[in-house]
């Protein structure tokens, strides 16, 4: 894929987007009945389901992770064997899966008010149905919605977005093809209303001066994602609340 | 209760912490009260406080965890000479999807004659008990107490499997066999058992 | 599977209801719950489907790839089943927790499809001994609300029906070798014939009667059940007794008979739906989880 033009001379990307344009986001909350909270998000072709169980008493194999003064987050990331272009042999437990699980756990331990749930465990399960780049980001956004659905106290929303750098300009919400191009990739999670970065990761090599550009691009992207999610949550809230007032 | 129709989402700034006292579903940061849940904002006058309490009522079902001082309903699972172990089934009147482990130590069974308490004469496995959370305990279970008149056994089956009727603070009777059994019987109060 | 723990009186209530042909959700013993099926939901696959049966949620993705045929049947293609239980369905599936259930389901699928008539595997052959199509059917279990086997089999049939295999050109190359070329147009495909594709019907014994499509609550009251593979014409293709309880030999033919009837009806309903959906092709927007 090296040498491929990520942005055309006219300023459009391979899938026809502008460099600072997100893919279409569609989401839903409460898609499952058995989990304590669940959500679904689509960012372009990347489709992720999230389920939350808990807070509950620590399961037997997690006993050593119990904290007396706060709750802990247990996260597992699974990717359906049919989700990627090439069929995967294993759906979870591979290096990439463990990596993403660890990052999501870290992200949400910073965002959940864990001190309200002493000695408890909160499970975040993520299932990728279709993977087309920015998996970590879609997972974080799905988990945020699922945590809201589960009624778990959070400091703020968590919104995540990725960005890449080509020829000195930034591209946000990168898809699978753009990931393959091998440019530097930066992803971050922010608390949009408190304006704090709680997770950031950079793969690849960039010039130090360009980092600011990427951080700006990602924060703008996160804010745009926040606007979409916020609108959805508010309309759902109003809908749910209207059942209470009429009955 | 003042309940305006404003909705909030996690992280939303609700007001200054000088204006209102932060209640459930909120937290204070840099002198402002922020929401932690998605739900309805309620402002309430608490007796004795001059500040109004602001809290957020989630519209989504919420999993509760036992907290210190909360009234819980539990079922006795295991007895020993010094403690009774139990499963916590509900907290503050709301049913839990998954139970938490709890323990009632011998010294927390009653408030009087503490040194004469015998666990076997207070509980039996399968009894349903109303208790109060004393502390978060050690890593494996919550410490509970029944050392109040309103706390103790509320449902118990006799050896034949019939629901027994309370006779006094320490006895229950099987309506069929008329056998009396010893229990730490609760005098349930409506504030303690609200469903 | 989400463990349902019922008290004795709850169990008796359910069993007595079944005895009177009135179940907790108002169905009679032979009624199925509402089924929601959608095909072509994942564009990364050659065929896919999503199914919701009560609270049971299943997703199936089919991918075909080129491979070498089995030496015992050099002219045929291959079909593999793989089942994955997502921890979204139950926290106990985390890590390797769901493997027992997964292998259980994939075994029974392999068994009912391991039959010359179920899917004509010779249509998947390309060059004998050298090249054939390998069909990977990947089942993802997203929520367990009872009757998982039937749900999986319906979703598998729907996804296979939706699976397009690229029309391949075999040309004779130099020195007796054969070369294959894939079509340029991704829509140049032939669909798998699913006319004889079996469906599983689980018949659970509760008290002296048997029920189909048991919910999770009902499953915890029934300790013996029979899983039967049934074709569209009502032929049985494999059978398995499940659960720790025992069955009276006389009740087995009766249960199989019920299974065949229900299976036939299920096939008719599903075929009708798939036909309608195929007719609408790309005009409709997929609902998915939105």
Check which CATH number belongs to the domain holding A211 and give it: 3.30.230.70
**C84–A80 CB contact, under 8 Å:** yes
Cα-based distances in Å from A39 to A149, A162, C95:
8, 21, 21
Tokens found for residue B157: 């089956």
Identify the contact set of chain A against chain B, taking CB-CB distances under 8 A: 30, 36-37, 54-57, 63, 66, 68, 71, 113, 116-120, 148-157, 191-194, 230, 233-234, 237-238, 240-241, 244-245
pLDDT band of residue B139 (cuts 50, 70, 90) is low
Whether the per-residue pLDDT at C54 is higher than 70: the answer is: yes
The reply to whether C19 falls in a domain is no
pLDDT band of residue C1 (cuts 50, 70, 90) is very low
**B60–A56 CB contact, under 8 Å:** no
Whether the per-residue pLDDT at A161 is higher than 60: the answer is: yes
Percent of the residues in chain A that have a pLDDT greater than 70, as a whole number: 97
DSSP secondary structure of chain A: -TT--SB-TTS-BTTS--TT-PPPEEEEE---SSSSEEEEEEETTEEEEEEEEEEEEPPGGGGGG--SSS-EEEEEEEE-TTSSSSPPS-SSSSHHHHHHHHHHHHHHHHHB-GGGSTTEEEEEEEEEEE--S-HHHHHHHHHHHHHHHTT--BSS--EEEEEEEETTEEEES--HHHHHTT--EEEEEEETTTTEEEEEEEES---HHHHHHHHHHHHHHHHHHHHHHHHHHHHHHHHHHHHHHH-
Closest residue on chain C to A90 (Cα)? C84
**pLDDT score, position A61:** 83
The reply to whether A7 falls in a domain is no
Looking at residues A11-27, what average pLDDT do you find? Answer: 92
**pLDDT score, position A64:** 83
**pLDDT score, position B138:** 75
Closest residue on chain C to A82 (Cα)? C61
For residue C61, give the nearest of A38, A40, A82 by CB distance.
A82
**C61–A42 CB contact, under 8 Å:** no
The reply to whether A8 falls in a domain is no
* Cα–Cα distance measured from residue A122 to residue A115, given in angstroms and rounded to the nearest whole number: 12
Q: What is the pLDDT of residues A120-133, one digit of tens each?
A: 899 999 999 999 99
pLDDT band of residue B172 (cuts 50, 70, 90) is very high
Looking at residues C33-58, what average pLDDT do you find? Answer: 92
* Cα–Cα distance measured from residue A165 to residue A73, given in angstroms and rounded to the nearest whole number: 33
B31 touches chain A (CB under 8 A): no
pLDDT band of residue B195 (cuts 50, 70, 90) is very low
* Beta pairing class for C131-143 and C78-85: parallel
The reply to whether A15 falls in a domain is no
**pLDDT score, position A247:** 44
A210 touches chain C (CB under 8 A): no
Decide: helix, strand or coil at residue C253.
helix
Residues of B in contact with A194 (CB under 8 A): 11, 29, 34
The reply to whether A132 falls in a domain is yes
- Mean pLDDT, rounded, of chain C: 89
Looking at residues A223-239, what average pLDDT do you find? Answer: 92
Tell me the CATH number at C65.
Answer: 3.30.230.70
**pLDDT score, position A89:** 87
**C289–A33 CB contact, under 8 Å:** no
Whether the per-residue pLDDT at B189 is higher than 80: the answer is: no
* Cα–Cα distance measured from residue C170 to residue A238, given in angstroms and rounded to the nearest whole number: 60
CA B33 to chain centre: 28
**pLDDT score, position B48:** 65
Closest residue on chain C to A80 (Cα)? C140
Residues of A in contact with C1 (CB under 8 A): none
Looking at residues C255-260, what average pLDDT do you find? Answer: 93
Range of the domain at C183: 32-279
pLDDT band of residue A2 (cuts 50, 70, 90) is very low
Give A27→chain C minimum CA distance, Å: 6
Closest residue on chain A to C140 (Cα)? A80
Q: Hey, which residues 160-189 in chain A have their CB within 8 Å of chain C?
A: none
Predicted TM-score (pTM) of this structure:
0.89
B57 touches chain A (CB under 8 A): no
A50 touches chain C (CB under 8 A): yes
* Cα–Cα distance measured from residue A222 to residue A103, given in angstroms and rounded to the nearest whole number: 17
**pLDDT score, position A246:** 54
Residues of A in contact with C142 (CB under 8 A): 32, 49, 127
> How many CA atoms lie less than 13 Å away from C267 in the CB half-sphere?
21
Looking at residues C3-15, what average pLDDT do you find? Answer: 84
The reply to whether A14 falls in a domain is no
**pLDDT score, position B4:** 61
All domains in chain B, ordered by first residue:
2-58 (2.40.50.100), 71-189 (2.40.50.140)
Percent of the residues in chain C that have a pLDDT greater than 90, as a whole number: 55
Closest residue on chain A to B56 (Cα)? A153
pLDDT band of residue B1 (cuts 50, 70, 90) is low
**A130–C44 CB contact, under 8 Å:** yes
Whether the per-residue pLDDT at C203 is higher than 80: the answer is: yes
Size of interface A-B (CB pairs under 8 A): 100
Percent of the residues in chain C that have a pLDDT greater than 70, as a whole number: 98
Range of the domain at A110: 25-245
The DSSP symbol for C230 reads E
For residue C289, give the nearest of A31, A83, A91 by CB distance.
A31
Looking at residues B51-56, what average pLDDT do you find? Answer: 82
Q: Please give the helix or strand (H or E) that residue B17 lies within, else none.
A: none
Looking at residues A19-24, what average pLDDT do you find? Answer: 93
Percent of the residues in chain B that have a pLDDT greater than 70, as a whole number: 91
Looking at residues B72-96, what average pLDDT do you find? Answer: 90
**pLDDT score, position A3:** 54
* Cα–Cα distance measured from residue B86 to residue B139, given in angstroms and rounded to the nearest whole number: 15
The reply to whether A6 falls in a domain is no
The reply to whether C258 falls in a domain is yes
- Mean pLDDT, rounded, of chain A: 90
- Beta bridge pairs of residue B133: B144
Whether the per-residue pLDDT at A242 is higher than 70: the answer is: yes
Q: Please state, as a whole number, how many other Cβ atoms lie within 10 Å of the Cβ of residue C124.
A: 21
Percent of the residues in chain B that have a pLDDT greater than 90, as a whole number: 33
**pLDDT score, position C169:** 86
**pLDDT score, position C263:** 94
Give the total number of structural domains in chain A.
1
Whether the per-residue pLDDT at A147 is higher than 50: the answer is: yes
Place of tokens 């950079």: A202
* Cα–Cα distance measured from residue A184 to residue A198, given in angstroms and rounded to the nearest whole number: 20
Q: What is the largest CA-CA distance in chain B?
A: 66
């Amino acid at each position: 894929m090296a040498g491929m033009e990520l942005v055309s001379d006219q300023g459009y990307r391979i899938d026809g987007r502008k460099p600072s344009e997100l893919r279409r986001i569609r989401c839903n909350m409460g898609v499952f009945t058995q989990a304590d909270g669940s959500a679904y998000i689509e960012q372009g072709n990347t489709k992720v389901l999230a389920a939350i169980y808990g807070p509950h008493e620590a399961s037997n194999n997690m006993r050593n992770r119990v904290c007396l003064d706060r709750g802990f987050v247990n996260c597992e990331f699974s990717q359906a064997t049919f989700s990627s272009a090439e069929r995967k042999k294993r759906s979870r437990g591979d290096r990439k899966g463990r990596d993403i699980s660890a990052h999501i756990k870290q992200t949400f331990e910073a965002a959940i008010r864990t001190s309200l749930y002493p000695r408890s465990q909160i499970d975040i399960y993520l299932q990728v149905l279709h993977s087309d780049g920015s998996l970590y980001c879609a997972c974080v956004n799905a988990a945020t919605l699922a945590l809201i659905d589960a009624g778990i106290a959070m400091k703020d929303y968590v919104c995540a977005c990725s960005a890449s750098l080509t020829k000195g300009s930034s591209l946000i919400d990168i898809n699978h093809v753009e990931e393959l191009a091998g440019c530097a990739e930066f992803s971050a999670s922010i608390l949009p209303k408190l304006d704090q970065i709680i997770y950031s990761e950079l793969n690849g090599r960039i010039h130090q001066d360009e980092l600011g550009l990427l951080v700006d691009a990602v924060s703008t992207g996160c804010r745009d994602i926040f606007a979409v999610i916020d609108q959805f949550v508010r309309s759902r809230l109003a809908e749910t609340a209207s059942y209470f007032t009429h009955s | 209760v003042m309940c305006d129709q404003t909705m909030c989402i996690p992280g939303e700034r609700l007001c200054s912490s000088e204006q209102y006292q932060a209640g459930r579903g909120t937290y204070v940061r840099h002198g402002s009260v922020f929401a932690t849940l998605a739900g309805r904002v309620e402002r309430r006058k608490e007796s004795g406080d001059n500040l109004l309490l602001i809290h957020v009522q989630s519209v989504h079902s919420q999993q509760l965890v036992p907290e210190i001082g909360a009234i819980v309903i539990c079922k006795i699972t295991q007895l020993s000479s010094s403690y009774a172990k139990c499963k916590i089934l509900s907290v503050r009147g709301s049913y839990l999807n998954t139970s938490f482990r709890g323990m009632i130590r011998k010294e927390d069974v009653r408030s009087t004659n503490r040194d004469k308490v015998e666990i076997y004469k207070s509980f039996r496995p399968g009894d349903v008990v109303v208790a109060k959370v004393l502390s978060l305990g050690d890593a494996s279970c919550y410490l509970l107490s029944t050392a109040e008149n309103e706390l103790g056994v509320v449902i118990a089956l006799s050896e034949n499997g019939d629901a027994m009727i309370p006779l006094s603070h320490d006895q229950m009777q099987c309506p069929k066999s008329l056998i009396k059994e010893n229990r730490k019987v609760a005098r349930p109060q409506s504030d303690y058992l609200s469903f | 599977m989400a463990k349902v723990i019922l008290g004795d009186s709850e169990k008796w209530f359910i069993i007595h209801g079944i005895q009177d042909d009135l179940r907790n959700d108002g169905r009679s013993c032979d009624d199925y719950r509402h089924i929601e099926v959608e095909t072509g939901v994942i564009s990364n696959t050659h065929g896919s489907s999503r199914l919701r049966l009560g609270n049971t949620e299943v997703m199936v993705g089919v991918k075909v790839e080129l491979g070498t045929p089995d030496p015992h049947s050099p002219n045929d293609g291959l079909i593999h089943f793989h089942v994955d239980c997502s921890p979204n369905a139950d926290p106990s599936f985390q890590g390797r927790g769901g493997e027992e259930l997964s292998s259980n389901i994939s075994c029974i699928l392999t068994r009912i499809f391991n039959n010359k008539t179920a899917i004509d595997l010779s249509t998947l052959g390309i060059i004998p001994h050298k090249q054939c199509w390998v069909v990977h059917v990947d089942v993802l279990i997203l929520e367990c609300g009872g009757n998982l086997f039937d749900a999986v089999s319906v979703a598998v049939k729907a996804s296979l029906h939706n699976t397009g295999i690229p029309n391949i050109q075999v040309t004779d190359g130099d020195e007796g070798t054969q070369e294959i070329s894939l079509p340029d147009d991704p829509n140049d495909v032939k669909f798998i014939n699913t006319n004889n594709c079996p469906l599983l019907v689980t018949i659970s014994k509760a008290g002296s009667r048997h029920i189909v499509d048991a919910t999770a609550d009902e499953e915890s009251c029934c300790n013996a059940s029979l899983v039967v593979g049934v074709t569209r014409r009502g032929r049985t293709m494999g059978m398995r007794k499940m659960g720790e309880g025992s069955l009276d030999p006389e009740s087995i033919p009766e249960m199989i008979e019920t299974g065949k009837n229900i299976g036939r009806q299920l096939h008719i309903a599903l075929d009708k739906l798939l036909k309608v959906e195929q007719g609408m092709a790309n005009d409709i927007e997929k609902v998915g989880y939105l």
